[in-house]
Homo-oligomer: A and B are copies of this chain.
Amino acid sequence: MLRIAIVGGSGYTGIELLRILKFHPRANVVAVTSRKYAGRPAGAVFPSLHGYDDLFFTEPDVTYLSKTADWIFTAVPHKTAMSIVPQFFEAGCRIIDLSADFRLRDRRTYEIWYQAHTASEILNKAVYGMPEIYREKIAGAQLVANPGCYPTSAILPLVPLLNSKIISSKRIIADSKSGASGAGRNPSVVTLYCEVNEALKAYKVAEHRHLPEIEQELSVAAGKPVFITFTPHLVPMTRGILTTIYAQMNEKISTDRVLAVIKEFYKNSPFVRILPEGTFPDISYVRGSNFCDIGAKVDRHTNMLILISAIDNLVKGASGQAVQNLNIMAGLDESSGLGTIPLFP
């Protein structure tokens, strides 16, 4: 059994890791940390886990954790992550970091959007943890930077088409709609029930921190710098991101052909589902699962390609993808512990 520690177990992604790993056939969570709940069993703090009372929250003691576990999930905020990841790295643990600290390969870009990078010495060891694109590199990585939720939803539909030059790398627009769980579990007025319910708004318009992450990966796919327009919106639902993408086509091709190209690209990727022409993704069909559903339509009347993707932001956009990375790193079946049917309705 893989011995696993989760650092930061009381946020939504930490709870989701506990949920997913509970029935993983080869993983065993041996430690989970939370300064706030240290000393209390996870099942008492989160009654959804009630009955699984053998696991107690502890303080985040890196030395202890490095000895107890071989695999570390860091589910802490950026900045905190880079303050502890180097120690786990040095201790020889294999790490899946769910923060943004090791996603941007270019240190300067990171420092423009976040803050000074204090672990840049291991930045080039990190592999961007999108299995559908970097599966081989992930297998051998000691440190995997688990992708952001918005980037996952924007990168997966675009990479095959940029890669094959079917679409132009210019004037790509990603209009994303996210549920509130993406904002985390910290108390805040803007994510109070009454501020989100029956509300709908764009935020951080054209300046969200996930922008450089999306552009980094699209540039790799296109083989040249790609700049996009990215508008995130907050939608009154708990889980899910739906991203609607608008792209110019380099040649006139049919919707059918677009879908075939994407399908071929992901033929060995069990979690990417390409919907048939005329049908489009719906958050309610991926909830609780690690799927990314993708649909497409060529708007003949303006010659614009419309791509739509749907993920559960806490699963494929965070903890599920992290477990998928674990599986690959550990040489297991990529789907181990992730074989969940979406919860509908």
Asked if residues A239 and B198 are in contact (CB atoms below 8 Å), the reply is: yes
Q: Which stretch of A85-93, A172-180, A326-334 is in the interface?
A: A172-180
| A203 on interface, CB distance cutoff 8 Å | yes
Task: Scan residues 303-345 of chain A and give those whose CB is less than 8 A from a CB of chain B.
Answer: 304, 306, 308, 310, 339-345
A194-218 vs B, CB cutoff 8 Å, 1 = contact: the mask equals: 1111111111011000000000000
Inter-chain CA distance A205–B283, complex, in Å, is: 16
Max chain B C-beta neighbours (<10 A), residue from A47, A188, A276, A304: A47
Asked if residues B50 and A302 are in contact (CB atoms below 8 Å), the reply is: no
**Given A12-B345, A246-B173, does the pair A201, B306 have CB atoms closer than 8 Å?**
no
Asked if residues B283 and A345 are in contact (CB atoms below 8 Å), the reply is: no
**Given A46-B344, A242-B233, A302-B227, does the pair A189, B187 have CB atoms closer than 8 Å?**
yes
A266-295 vs B, CB cutoff 8 Å, 1 = contact: the mask equals: 000000010110011111111111010100
Q: How many residues of chain A are within 8 Å of chain B by beta carbon?
A: 86
Chain B neighbourhood of A287, CB < 8 A: 48, 198, 343
| A297 on interface, CB distance cutoff 8 Å | yes
Choose among B177, B280, B293 the residue that contacts A50 (Cβ–Cβ < 8 A): B293
Choose among B191, B197, B203, B343 the residue that contacts A280 (Cβ–Cβ < 8 A): B203
Choose among B171, B180, B280, B340 the residue that contacts A201 (Cβ–Cβ < 8 A): B280
- Pick 26 A–B contacts, CB within 8 A, sort by A: A23-B339, A46-B285, A47-B279, A47-B282, A48-B286, A48-B342, A48-B343, A48-B344, A50-B293, A171-B171, A171-B302, A175-B246, A177-B177, A180-B197, A185-B192, A186-B189, A197-B345, A198-B198, A199-B284, A200-B237, A201-B242, A206-B302, A227-B301, A229-B302, A231-B244, A288-B288
**Residue ranges of A at the interface with B (Cβ–Cβ < 8 Å):** 12, 15, 18-19, 22-23, 44, 46-52, 171, 173, 175, 177, 180-181, 185-189, 191-203, 205-206, 227-229, 231, 233, 235-240, 242, 244, 246, 248, 273, 275-276, 279-289, 291, 293, 297, 299, 301-302, 304, 306, 308, 310, 339-345
